[in-house]
Amino acid sequence: MRVAMIAPIAWRTPPRHYGPWEQVTSRLTEALVSRGVDVTLFATQDSTTGGQLAGIVPAPYNEDPSIDAKVWEYRHLAHVFEQAGLATVGLSIMRGQAERARPPRMLHCDFPLGRPLGRPGDAAFQHRVLAAALGLLARTDVPVLVDFDASIIDDGDQPLACTLPPFHDPNLHPAVDEALGLRAAYERNRIRSGLTNVGRVGDADRIRSLVETFVRIAEGTPWEEAGLDAVQIGQAGLDIAAHYYNQSVARRGG
């Protein structure tokens, strides 16, 4: 019997310190190996296993700021499918990310962010994008990065916006004030669901200080002097994003 174990790429498998899912994956993998099962572990390249390691991601994205989490998660999963003989293809809007990750097949579309298939409501155009992407599945000279034959200029003159609570304290920086104003919605969702995605570098009480750190960096403070190292800055960004996500679930009643 052959078994594939797919680990997350946030941390090494097994993790050096924190990394619960990587730890679970590692223990299951090694238990199967000890019973004579032929196991292939798909994890970061610095991972260790008694089975076979199939890594395409150079390092955990929580330990190496140069590893873009979403881009390399796609590359990681594409590697799993490709090793099983299944061709993969993706759509790219940010060409530089595709060039760095070098997935097997990628169609780059010069479209505005949030419009991976191009013009909303234009089914014919969207079908043409999909046909161009699916046409790459037959390519074996991977990695392949092809530019779609049309570009779309973002001519929108209205910023995207959502309804937010009124200002809590106009004397604070708007970003800090906004984070504080959203705290009540965050807490409603946390209490209702019993879950939170905040906690990489601190709980929700630390969101204000994390936002203030990013404000200082945006205003010119070198990140090396901002009080967080490179890994913590990446984790802080994920915590802030999780805080916004959790409150948005509460605000839309999800």
> Cα dihedral sign for 60, 62, 68, 71?
positive
1 shares its domain with 78: yes
119 shares its domain with 196: no
Residue 165 lies in a domain: no
pLDDT, tens digit, 9 for 90 and up, residues 150-170: 999 876 555 544 555 555 677
Residue 164 lies in a domain: no
pLDDT mean values, one per 10 residues, the chain (254 residues) = 94 94 96 96 97 95 87 93 94 89 94 86 94 96 95 67 60 88 87 87 92 92 87 89 80 52
Q: Is 15 helix (H, G, I), strand (E, B) or coil?
A: coil
Spatial strand order of the sheet with 52-53 comes to 2-6, 38-42, 52-53
pLDDT, tens digit, 9 for 90 and up, residues 173-225: 988 988 888 888 888 888 888 888 898 898 999 999 999 999 999 999 998 89
Last residue within a domain, chosen from 86, 117, 144: 86
Beta-bridge partner residues of 6: 42
The residue with tokens 């969207």 is 126
The total domain count for the chain is 3
Structural domain for 202, as ranges:
174-251
Last residue within a domain, chosen from 125, 158, 191: 158
Residue 169 lies in a domain: no
82 shares its domain with 3: yes
Residue 237 lies in a domain: yes
Cβ contact 35:42 at 8 Å: no
140 shares its domain with 220: no
178 shares its domain with 223: yes
Residue 113 lies in a domain: yes
The residue with tokens 């046409």 is 135
Query: How many angstroms separate the CA atoms of 199 and 86, rounded?
Result: 36
60 shares its domain with 80: yes
